[in-house]
Amino acid sequence: MLRPRAIALAAACALTFLLATPGSASAIAGDFYYTYTDANGTEHRQKLSNTDFDERNCLNVKEAEAEGTKPAHSPRNNTDIKTYVFEDIDCEGTYHVLKLGGGEGGVNLKFRSFLMQDS
């Protein structure tokens, strides 16, 4: 039978471990939209939800990353975090910032990758 002091020590150690263990990155809420052109020249509106991206990871627009494809355009950021759209793949080249909660760009804002980040 465990003594009360040993039980309290075990509980304190467990609590310390939980507090010291880093948690997972917070999920991004909301959706990100953009328009891309397929190989037949037809435009499509794409919606990405929070399960499709996470904070601090550069994502290439899969429909616009291959050689010879047109860049995506008309982004709309309906997430709770700023989004940076880049003219080249792998978050390279000139970028534009879309504010959280409705920041958008028109048909002239061309991009091939994006990054969601607070700073």
pLDDT of residue 26: 60
pLDDT of 57 strictly over 80 = yes
pTM: 0.75
Write down the mean pLDDT value for the chain.
Answer: 83
Q: How far apart, in whole angstroms, are the C-alpha atoms of residue 47 and residue 35?
A: 9
Ordered by start, the domain boundaries in the chain are 30-116
What's the pLDDT score for residue 20? 41
30-116 has which CATH code?
A: 2.60.20.10
Q: What is the pLDDT of residue 24?
A: 43
pLDDT greater than 60 at residue 10: no
